[in-house]
Structure 1
Amino acid sequence: MTTSRPEFSRPEFSRPFTARPPQPGWAYRSDPYLLPISGGEFGGYASEGDVLVNQTADGVNLNVIWDELAEVLALQNTDRSSLARLVSFPTIANADPIPQVPDSDHFEEASEYGEPTGLRAAPDALIMGYDFKDYDAATRFTWKFLRNASAEQVRSSIDRMLNADNRLVNGTVLRRLFDNTQGANEFQHNVYPLWNGDAMIPPPYAGQEFGVSNHMLASGASVIDSDDLELLISQVRSKGYGLQPNTRLLLLCNPAQGEAIAGFKRGVPSRPREGSETGDVLPRFDFIPSDSAPAYLTEENVVGKVAPGEFGGLPVAGSYGPAWVIESHYIPAGYVACVATGGPNSDLNPVALRQHTNPAYQGLRVIPGRDQRYPLQDSFFARGFGTGIRHRGAAAVLQVTTDLTYEPPAWHWH
């Protein structure tokens, strides 16, 4: 004798998740704190009578904090860190053909019946590849925490996430600048460093022919001196960068090196030359404080224009020769970079900052977690981007070390 199996109705909570507003009567029995929502749009919060927690201990509605977060992220994505913007160019391309010498186009003598030659891809253009990676992190709050926390406690976690993203973008861009290794992206395009002494020869510029060129240098001394700065500046300018009216040479350094650079004075040794008969290292230029520097007394007059107190959102400490000195703790101690920049987000900047081709995946994004009715309880922060060198000669970096071989810094920014 057979008996028919009784029919049981499937519980509502076992339905697969779909991106639509929960319907009244859904029973989230697997978690007693995921209460049904009545009223409001998907991704928002239920009304006061329907939710377990709807405000912080000091009376700030959680909806308000979530809306604030959306506004802050919009600002974060349009106002990316000043340091990264000065040395990088945003792009959605995975690779670009980039001429490795500026101002490579030229006119030719006109003929009576001929047609002028059209501009075309420069023969010295290289296919410069950019990598891409996804990064994420999460904030998680229990309903009891949200009930007892103040709004500032909740906002502080969000601030920490924004600071972490800022370190990530800055660190990745600068890591590319100081990395002397070559790689490849997912399309097998070469991701190059600056000129690093490999077999590739820089193209001629202004009648100069180059051999193997290295823009990643070791100082050979335990302290920085004026020769180091002048060598960096010479390496960049000799390749044609930093000479155009719309570009500017920057010396990026850690405050530890910035303090030493601030003492460089023409005719006064910047460092004794140990064991050498050629004499001490004498600077060719004076370090001149910027117009925002603290007041100081001098018996000499400044000839020429003083560097501004700010450039591209960063404070300028002063100038050494044709370069403005910018100090930043993002630059590892013991390293200095000379960068030719065209300004924030200029295509003349040495580093590319690759973003996703889909605008929905660009910038720092915040995604509600598993219970999208209460996004603050479980929020995911995501950013996908990559980097690559665009102009191999537009920057030069130096490690202050007694060794004669350059080693990239050990980064501790993530």
Structure 2
Amino acid sequence: MTTLDPYLVPLCGSDSGYSTAGDVLVNQTADGVDLNTIWGEVAQILQIFNNERSRLTALLSYSTTAIADAVPQSVSSDSFEQASEFGEPHAIREAPEALLMGYDFKDFDLASRMTWQFLRDASAEQVRSVITRALEADNKNTTTTILDRLFNPEERLSPENHRVFGLWTGTDGITPPPYLGKEFAPETSHYLASNAAVVDSGDIEDLIRQVTSKGYGRSAGSQLLILANPVEGEMIQTWRKGVESRTGGPVAKYDFVLSSSAPAYLSEDTIVGQIAPGEFGSLPVAGSYGPAWLIESEFVPVGYVAVVATGGPNSAINPVAFRQHTNPAYQGLRVIPGRDQRYPLQDSFFARGFGTGVRHRGAAAVLQVTTGSTYTAPTLRW
């Protein structure tokens, strides 16, 4: 005869029917907080969390439910022509250089399992810490996946067999379209290697030139950002116009100017022009180099720098797409009760399905700081 584990015996009220409050093994934490209250808090926290997606990824990406989009790959405007007495004017139409950009999609999940004995002896703060760790894990996953798409030139396939591109690589047989009459070589790449052990002003100026030459970051409502790890960020902040940006390296074209949120400092220099704001998209701005604002983030790997043209959080002109499921019920980070839905905190699942793909291949350019001449993508999936 098989002996059942007493903790696996089904919980029930009387012999059958509805479960009653008296049947609950644990209904509050050690400090007297009702478990149902905490479960309700989880739903509210996730709603806020999904509405305020990671500030860094929001500046880089655009949310969509499409499996692919035909996206023009240059920024151009229409022009009038001189009218004639009998002629018909030409019509405005969608840019002919639109490219079908596919987006991949994967499901991710993480479990939270707490025994009734743990819940009985734990404080409410200990229980909430499990939820906090799940939120942090999701933020890390979405942020690193979007950055991986930005920094990785590898072409992929979506579940629907659409091509999922990175930035311009110069190796996939597709040439960037002309911008304002300027033609680009078929081998044009937005993945650069520095050929030096440290980043210098010439590297950043090259990245800015790659982006602006395709028409991005020039118009009102679009801002150039330098995304760097604090290691490279500290180096960038030392550059001064007319001075070598590294020993034996190029002379800087601009001064790095601290933002309005910088700590107070003494200077004999006079600042001409408007300084960068203290924050952009709720992210702190360290300062500016030329037309670009520097944002430092630990999510950016050491030895890599990117210049990105952004239209702000979740703008359609941002370089990367963040694909979600077409069904709103499956969008965002979700929490799902586990096997025993009467006591969801004991066994629950966090789930998110999403995908990425570059929308505007010319809206960003990235650099690997290396003594070599070939770009190698970083490993970002921690």
What TM-score, normalized to structure 2? Answer: 0.94
| Aligned-pair CA distance for 1:306 | 0.7
- Evaluate the alpha carbon distance shift between residue 161 and residue 33 of structure 1 in structure 2; reply closer, same or farther with a 3 A threshold: farther
| Aligned-pair CA distance for 1:367 | 0.3
| Aligned-pair CA distance for 1:197 | 1.6
Q: Paired residue for 2:144?
A: 171
Cα distance between partner residues in 2 of 1:325 and 1:166: 22
Contact 1:364 1:381 in 2 (8 A): yes
Contact 2:106 2:354 in 1 (8 A): yes
Cα distance between partner residues in 2 of 1:137 and 1:106: 53
- CA deviations 1:57-102 (Å, max 9, x no partner) are 1100000100000000001110000000001000000100000011
Cα distance between partner residues in 1 of 2:271 and 2:216: 27
Q: Which amino acid aligns with 1:121?
A: E
Q: Tell me which structure has the larger Cα radius of gyration.
A: 1
Q: Paired residue for 2:181?
A: 207
Cα distance between partner residues in 2 of 1:175 and 1:37: 52
- Evaluate the alpha carbon distance shift between residue 358 and residue 113 of structure 1 in structure 2; reply closer, same or farther with a 3 A threshold: farther
Cα distance between partner residues in 2 of 1:248 and 1:287: 17
Correspondence 1:326 to 2:301: no
Contact 1:308 1:316 in 2 (8 A): yes
What TM-score, normalized to structure 1? Answer: 0.87
SS at match of 2:268: coil
| Aligned-pair CA distance for 1:106 | 3.8
| Aligned-pair CA distance for 1:410 | 1.4
After superposition, the CA RMSD in angstroms is 1.8
- CA deviations 1:235-279 (Å, max 9, x no partner) are 000000000101000000000000100101112211123xxxxxx
- Evaluate the alpha carbon distance shift between residue 109 and residue 129 of structure 1 in structure 2; reply closer, same or farther with a 3 A threshold: farther
Q: Paired residue for 2:363?
A: 394
Q: Paired residue for 1:269?
A: 244
Following TM superposition, the consecutive aligned residue runs of length 4 or more in structure 1 with deviations greater than 6 angstroms are: none
Correspondence 1:309 to 2:278: yes
SS at match of 1:338: strand
| Aligned-pair CA distance for 1:116 | 4.4
Q: Paired residue for 2:354?
A: 385
Correspondence 1:188 to 2:161: yes
Correspondence 1:292 to 2:261: yes
Correspondence 1:339 to 2:308: yes
Structure 1 segment 8-407 matched on structure 2, within 5 A:
32=8, 34-36=10-12, 48-112=21-85, 116-198=89-171, 199-211=173-185, 212-273=187-248, 280-407=249-376
Cα distance between partner residues in 2 of 1:375 and 1:117: 63
Q: Which amino acid aligns with 1:300?
A: D
| Aligned-pair CA distance for 1:121 | 3.1
Contact 1:225 1:261 in 2 (8 A): yes
Cα distance between partner residues in 2 of 1:174 and 1:71: 28
Contact 2:76 2:179 in 1 (8 A): no
Identify the range of structure 1 (254-263 vs 116-125) with the bigger mean alpha-carbon deviation.
116-125
| Aligned-pair CA distance for 1:107 | 3.7
Unmatched segments (≥5 aa) in structure 1: 1-27, 274-279
SS at match of 1:372: coil
Contact 1:37 1:51 in 2 (8 A): no
Percent identity of paired positions between Structure 1 and Structure 2: 60
